[in-house]
Structure 1
Amino acid sequence: MACHRLSNRPADYSTPPAVVMSSTTPPGSDSDGAETPAESSGPGALDPLTALLREVEGTSNGASTESNDAMETPTSDLPPPPSEANGKRRKKVRKPKPRWLKITAVVIAVLLVLPLISFTKAMITTQNLSFAERGAEWMRDNHLGGVLNTVESWWLSNNQPKEGGDPNRAIDVPVTGDGGPTTTVKVIAPHLPAPTNVQVPEGVTPVANEGVWQPVGPLVGGAQTMYTTQVRPDSVHTSILDGLVWIDPKLVTLEVFPGSEEPGGKWAKPSQVPMDRRLALIAAFNGGFRMDDAKGGFYLDGVTQRPLRDGAASFVTYSDGTATVGQWGRDVVMSPEVAAVRQNLDLIIDNGGGPPNPGGGPAAAAAPGALVPGLVDNVDGKWGATFGNKVYAWRSAVGVTATGAIVYGYGDGLSSLSLANLMLRAGCVRAMQLDINTVWTTFNFYNSTRFLDPTSVQGTKLLPESFKGANRYLSPDARDFVGVFTRAL
């Protein structure tokens, strides 16, 4: 047999036989040893060992392929899940949201809605305020005053008034209600001596009428009720003219009116000059800071809206219509004769106390006024923190002279220091800062255009460039103010 012959052949590995076993011949058959000339003579002929290795490799690969094929069986060949086998798709069950999450959402919604309602209410309440002013007031009422102060301080610091130059307008001589100083009338009423002219800042060449007091407003008992002038604030901001008004409390009455928003509370007195008082109205000017920033109190007609602070700068009116400025607890104290007290910060000019006497009484021996120590550096924030006392801006003040006259001053290009110097130059021995910023500072004169017709009363601005209208205080106003009326003799 072929197998027998192969087993007796000598081993020769130099020339391997080109014989392969037929994979189709069963072992032990008669053809078991048959030789198959499978490419035995070609260069690609396979020796038995190579053929055997390839056969083993093919068997291994085949097993691996079968294994991979089993792993890669398509999912479509797998039995469907029970839900799909029944022809129905199982719905996902959503878990309920936690209770705390619902409560949190409600709280957030309320926190967003309440400010929106408050803001909307503030926007539709005019009270002689522009949209921007209403927004600013709402911010201060809702604990955002610090943000607003920062923005205002930044804006003002980057938009300071021009330095140098000359005024771009003349100082007009005002027209009085009774024909002015050219009318010869016999003087019969007691009155204060006319003020002396205001000194112009050092090194500044005065323009026409600068620092010269001009009569304004009606005569009462043949005497002049008010005088006014305009001057440069200092020797640096020479293109600006600030305004001053001198008022004789012997010939007029001064009266504090509450605003609809400041100082807060409910009042029998209106937040405007009522129609039945307008024929006697000759002037009005702004009050102080918002009460939250004033560092003082407010008292009117027997009602204390904010507690009065000892040591605070105070504008005080009396039941007889006179008024004064002083330090509460030292120069002025509570008494049955006090009609109103409006406090704002600390004094900016002080004479140490004493005369002029409360109520505008004679005080020829009054000590001269001087700048209050610490004013330059705003020690302890005594003179405001809205945008700092060194920023040049619109500011206002009221003071009292040695004779008891009331002086109001305001305008642009003023720091707390230059405002105090302005009031010193006007003859004040004590003075206090009132409100600041162009939208809050106002002094208007009033006069009727038709005889005995209160509806014809119209206002005139002391400074034409001031922001608020000339008829301010003839309609409800958000801030408290002071009205000046002719005195009935």
Structure 2
Amino acid sequence: MGALGLGSLGWSVGEALTYPGQDSTAARLAGWAREHRLGVVVDQLENAKYSMDPPRLGGALPQKDLARMRATAHPAPEHSDIRPHAPLQPLVTPALEGEGVWRVLASAHGRPLVQGTYVRPDSDHTSYQAAVAWISGKHTRFQLHPGLREPGEEFATPPNIPEGARTGLLATWNGGFKITDGGSRGGFHLDGKTVGELRDGTASEVFYRDGSIKIGSWGRDVRMTPDVVGVRQCLELMVDDGKVVDDIDDDAKWGATDQSRMFVERSGVGVTAQGDIIMVVGQALTAPTLANVMQRAGAVRAMPLDMNRAWPSFMSYDGSRDPHNPEPTNILDFENPATRYYEQATRDFVAVYAR
């Protein structure tokens, strides 16, 4: 490779290491590699790392996680038409103290509009947990945001939640597999612009002009209409008609090679029969266990989102001290800080506001 080629390569890698945002060096380099058709290499490295250091079997939750599971932050308002849900049936028995018990994460107008709980995802990986969030669909509005680098176009909507646009903010969550390298097997639509292709049969988050959201299979449950302002597609539905899909064990549907069977950080989102939203992030989930948690939490249709430590996230926001700049809290500890979406985000995400 000549000096010009080396210089271009160095500039490209340097730009990936210095773009705005809070992504780690490892996440930046992996993203750069995928953008330059080296995704197979990244997958092989991730597979090798997993083989050398798989999640441990058995054991107890760390004390920090146990304390978080037992805590009941923000007591529910006494006079509200929305109450904390009945406990979620744990996937591991006997249940730990606080396991499956819902607590209020964010409120508005006296209503507990965002609730959350924690469960261990399976009986083998008892030192890890998954976090489950419930969001009222009736009393909230949903906004799709692009990322600075993914889906890789300029949009009128900013790649962050800037000051002056945070009043009423209740929650945020991450996007899905990359659009630009074809990993999502679908497209992204926002501000009248489409990146990639909106494909029939692809699992889709669909955002409407009135602030509502629907989740379903594109072309069957949801489709383009004049009221649609945003679409985020990713793979296929994991839960459909209230059931985990029959081919949930088919690795080809949920990621590269055998990564669907790896117990790694994953995320997914679904909708209940009442139109409320279920969002799950977990520390050690396979594609089947992610689907199982979403279905157990009440999702009748649910889809996968992003995976691996750098990308899953769910934050709730407390505006009791400063309504115009609410304080974010991570529901689980991942690589990025809770202020992730106050800064310019690399990848697309969803923001939830009180109506």
Which TM-score applies when normalising by structure 2?
0.93
- The structure richer in helix per residue is 1
Q: Distance in 2 between matches of 1:108 and 1:310?
A: 45
Q: Which residue of 2 aligns with 1:350?
A: 240
Q: Taking every aligned residue pair, what percent have the same amino acid on both sides?
A: 38
Q: Deviation of residue 172 (structure 1)?
A: 4.3
2:248 corresponds to which of 375, 381, 396: 375
Q: Which residue of 2 aligns with 1:336?
A: 226
Q: Deviation of residue 398 (structure 1)?
A: 0.1
User: Deviations 1:300-350 (Å, cap 9, x if unpaired)?
Assistant: 122112210000000111111111210000000111111211000011111
1:460 corresponds to which of 329, 337, 342: 329
2:132 corresponds to which of 215, 240, 244: 244
Q: Deviation of residue 269 (structure 1)?
A: 1.1
Q: Which residue of 2 aligns with 1:219?
A: 108
Q: Which residue of 2 aligns with 1:108?
A: 2
Any residues of structure 2 matched to 1:259-274 within 5 Å, and which? 259-274=147-162
Tell me if 1:282 matches 2:170. Answer: yes
Q: Which residue of 1 aligns with 2:343?
A: 475
Tell me if 1:228 matches 2:116. Answer: yes
Any residues of structure 2 matched to 1:80-119 within 5 Å, and which? 108-119=2-13
Q: Deviation of residue 155 (structure 1)?
A: 0.7
Counterpart secondary structure, 2:117 = strand
Is the 1:389–1:415 Cα contact (8 Å) retained in structure 2? yes
Tell me if 1:146 matches 2:40. Answer: yes
Counterpart secondary structure, 2:335 = coil
Q: Distance in 2 between matches of 1:296 and 1:287?
A: 13
Q: Which residue of 2 aligns with 1:43?
A: none
Tell me if 1:120 matches 2:14. Answer: yes
Which AA in structure 1 matches 2:204? S
Q: Deviation of residue 109 (structure 1)?
A: 3.0
Q: Deviation of residue 134 (structure 1)?
A: 1.4
2:295 corresponds to which of 419, 424, 428: 424
Tell me if 1:254 matches 2:123. Answer: no
Q: Deviation of residue 254 (structure 1)?
A: 1.1
Is the 1:249–1:321 Cα contact (8 Å) retained in structure 2? no
2:280 corresponds to which of 373, 387, 409: 409
Counterpart secondary structure, 1:446 = strand
Which TM-score applies when normalising by structure 1?
0.68
Is the 1:196–1:213 Cα contact (8 Å) retained in structure 2? yes
Q: Deviation of residue 161 (structure 1)?
A: 1.4
Counterpart secondary structure, 1:440 = coil
Alpha carbons of 1:452 and 1:210: their partners in 2 closer, same or farther (altered >3 Å)? Answer: closer
Q: Distance in 1 between matches of 2:280 and 2:36?
A: 32
Q: Deviation of residue 447 (structure 1)?
A: 2.0
Q: Which residue of 1 aligns with 2:97?
A: 208
Which AA in structure 2 matches 1:197? P
Which AA in structure 2 matches 1:298? F
Q: Distance in 1 between matches of 2:340 and 2:248?
A: 31
Q: Deviation of residue 426 (structure 1)?
A: 0.4
Q: Distance in 1 between matches of 2:265 and 2:26?
A: 17
Which AA in structure 2 matches 1:218? S
Tell me if 1:434 matches 2:324. Answer: no
Q: Distance in 2 between matches of 1:333 and 1:460?
A: 34
User: Deviations 1:123-177 (Å, cap 9, x if unpaired)?
Assistant: 221322122221111111112111111000111233221211222222143534x
Q: Distance in 1 between matches of 2:257 and 2:165?
A: 35
Q: Which residue of 2 aligns with 1:303?
A: 193
Tell me if 1:173 matches 2:71. Answer: yes
Counterpart secondary structure, 2:265 = strand
Q: Distance in 2 between matches of 1:469 and 1:387?
A: 29
2:262 corresponds to which of 391, 399, 403: 391
Q: Distance in 2 between matches of 1:427 and 1:278?
A: 29
Q: What runs of 5+ residues in structure 2 fail to find an aligned partner?
A: none
Counterpart secondary structure, 1:140 = helix
Taking CA–CA contacts closer than 8 Å with sequence separation of 6 or more, which of the two structures ends up with the larger relative contact order? 2
Counterpart secondary structure, 1:339 = strand
Is the 2:151–2:348 Cα contact (8 Å) retained in structure 1? yes
Which AA in structure 1 matches 2:339? N
Q: Distance in 2 between matches of 1:326 and 1:194?
A: 26
Which AA in structure 2 matches 1:301? D
Q: Distance in 2 between matches of 1:110 and 1:451?
A: 52
Q: Which residue of 2 aligns with 1:445?
A: 316
Counterpart secondary structure, 1:485 = strand
Counterpart secondary structure, 2:279 = strand
Is the 1:153–1:386 Cα contact (8 Å) retained in structure 2? no
Counterpart secondary structure, 2:280 = strand
Q: Distance in 2 between matches of 1:330 and 1:307?
A: 16
Which AA in structure 2 matches 1:327? S
Counterpart secondary structure, 2:328 = strand
Which AA in structure 1 matches 2:210? D
User: Deviations 1:255-287 (Å, cap 9, x if unpaired)?
Assistant: 110000001111111111121121211111101
Q: Which residue of 2 aligns with 1:164?
A: 58
Q: Deviation of residue 186 (structure 1)?
A: 5.5
Q: Distance in 2 between matches of 1:195 and 1:313?
A: 27
Bigger drift between 107-116 and 259-268 goes to: 107-116
Which AA in structure 1 matches 2:209? S
Counterpart secondary structure, 1:134 = helix
Alpha carbons of 1:186 and 1:236: their partners in 2 closer, same or farther (altered >3 Å)? Answer: closer
Alpha carbons of 1:452 and 1:396: their partners in 2 closer, same or farther (altered >3 Å)? Answer: closer
